[in-house]
Amino acid sequence: MAAEPVEVDGKTCPVFHGFDPMAKPEQLADPALALKGAREEAPVFYMPQYGLWCMTRYEDVREAFRDSATYSNASTIRVPDVPPEYADKLAYFPVK
């Protein structure tokens, strides 16, 4: 696997080609092994197949948790509404 830049929305972004844990069961089972090279070559990289960024170093992830205004995933993670027929089983979820 190698890190190579790609253009996304007019900006150059690093991509660690070959990393796709959803398509490669061995990477899903042990992502640390696959991400070892990324930590050295592209510690923060874009995953164009999912439209997401991946951080591989503890320090970077820790900083992202501390700065939710800059590193927000609010526009990428969607949680569907709980169907009304399950509302009584999951009372802590709002039902629309």
pLDDT in tens, the chain (96 residues): 666 677 777 778 888 888 888 888 888 888 888 888 888 888 999 988 888 889 999 999 999 999 988 887 776 666 677 777 877 776 555 555
| Ordered DSSP codes for 7-36 | EETTEEEEEEET--TTT-HHHHH-HHHHHH
Tell me how far apart the alpha carbons of residues 12 and 4 are, in angstroms, rounded to a whole number: 10
pTM of this structure: 0.65
Classify 91 as helix, strand or coil. Answer: coil
Tell me how far apart the alpha carbons of residues 64 and 15 are, in angstroms, rounded to a whole number: 19
Classify 87 as helix, strand or coil. Answer: coil
Pairing of β 44-47 and β 2-8: unpaired
